Amino acid sequence: MIEKKNKKVVVLATGGTIAGWASDLNAPHNYQAGQIEVAQLLMELKESPHNILSEQITQIDSKDADDAFWRVLAKRAAYWLEQTEVIGLVVTHGTDTLEETAYFLQAVLQPNKPLVLTCAMLAANAPNSDGPGNLKDALALAFDESASGVMVVCAGDVHAAHEVQKIHSLRLNPFSSGDLGPMGQIVNGEFKRLRPASSIRWPQPLPSVKDLLADQSWPRVLLVVNHAGNDGSMVRAMLTHDAPDGWVVAGTGNGTLDHALQDALEQAQTQGARVIRASRCSWGGVQSRADDLFAHAGQLTAVQARVALMLALMVKK
């Protein structure tokens, strides 16, 4: 049993708008993400809890998140989660690919401690920046020993890693868990659980963190969207020049595809690629069909299905 005074939360900083800086405060929406070090972000919290450690993992705009970024983040998160005195982690992250990182971390780490991703929509030096409030809420959740798993905290809402999507490009609360609503809220610095997280089937088998770190070239899985007039030419061009290991197709509605795109993806499948059919709709997932040519993503969003397929192919390699 660790004494309360020795219990620690570690903040792993990766960049994003929460660490962004606007050079002209008359135009705070023109800023550069990933400029402010984590030590400064923590210093600027008016009252922050004690016993916080921090590590600057990288300084990126999360649009540039890639395998190398996820590898180092998973490695450091796994390390800190193993430390007995560490009761939770906070990861500061850009909003743009946060839902992908959240899904990835939950899939590969399945932590029994809270791992809380947080972010901001306004740069750190913008008037009324939302970053400090979000960071404080995330710390409150990371110190809450009744919580576990990967969660996202933003604008007072708490979302489960596999339920959250960024649905707005401007709002201070750009995340949603759809019809379910957030699984919790942070009210006056305390976590209020509103409902249990929904159940989900994680890809099986999953690579261990050790395998994932040892693998220097993760399977390449690309995402293509069905749209009016998609003639499949992009997929066919890739097949002759730079074929990926897998494709996720964000189909229309229930994952339906223009016949030309379908033909191109069938060709990819015949050549050995795995193809997963998802939907470009935010919610509802895709249902199986009697004439399915491709595996379907079920309730996974297209970007989640991309991560799931990458992990599945990693095990198969």
How many residues bind ligand SIN (CB under 6 A)? The answer is 12
Peptide bond into 49 cis (omega under 30): no
What character string, x for contact with ligand SIN (CB under 6 A) and - otherwise, covers 30-49? ---x----------------
Q: Which is nearer to ligand SIN, 77 or 119 (CB)?
A: 119
Q: Which is nearer to ligand SIN, 41 or 276 (CB)?
A: 41
Q: What is the CA radius of gyration of the chain?
A: 20
We find the least distance from the C-beta atom of residue 34 to ligand SIN, in angstroms, to be 7
Near ligand SIN in 108-127, by CB under 6 A: 119, 121
Nearest position to ligand SIN, beta carbon: 94
- Does residue number 94 form part of the binding site for ligand SIN (CB under 6 A)? yes
Tell me whether strands 165-166 and 175-176 are parallel, antiparallel or unpaired: antiparallel
3-state helix, strand, coil in the chain (%, to 5): 30, 25, 45
CA separation for the pair 93, 28 (Å, rounded): 19
- Does residue number 129 form part of the binding site for ligand SIN (CB under 6 A)? no
**Is-contact 307 107, C-beta < 8 A?**
yes
Residue 253 region by backbone torsions, left for phi larger than 0, else alpha for psi between -120 and 50, else beta: left
Greatest CA separation for the chain = 63
Instruction: Give Cα separations from 234 to 44, 62, 279 (angstroms).
Output: 47, 25, 19
The secondary structure element, H or E, covering residue 59 is strand 52-60
Choices 47-55, 60-68, 105-113, 229-237 (CB under 6 A): range interacting with ligand SIN: 60-68
Q: Which is nearer to ligand SIN, 61 or 258 (CB)?
A: 61
- Does residue number 62 form part of the binding site for ligand SIN (CB under 6 A)? yes
Query: How many CB atoms sit inside 10 A of residue 105's CB?
Result: 24
Residues serving a catalytic function are 17
- Does residue number 95 form part of the binding site for ligand SIN (CB under 6 A)? yes
We find the least distance from the C-beta atom of residue 14 to ligand SIN, in angstroms, to be 8
Choices 92-100, 147-155, 289-297, 305-313 (CB under 6 A): range interacting with ligand SIN: 92-100
Q: Which is nearer to ligand SIN, 28 or 219 (CB)?
A: 28
Residues of this chain that bind ligand SIN (CB under 6 A): 15-17, 33, 61-63, 94-96, 119, 121
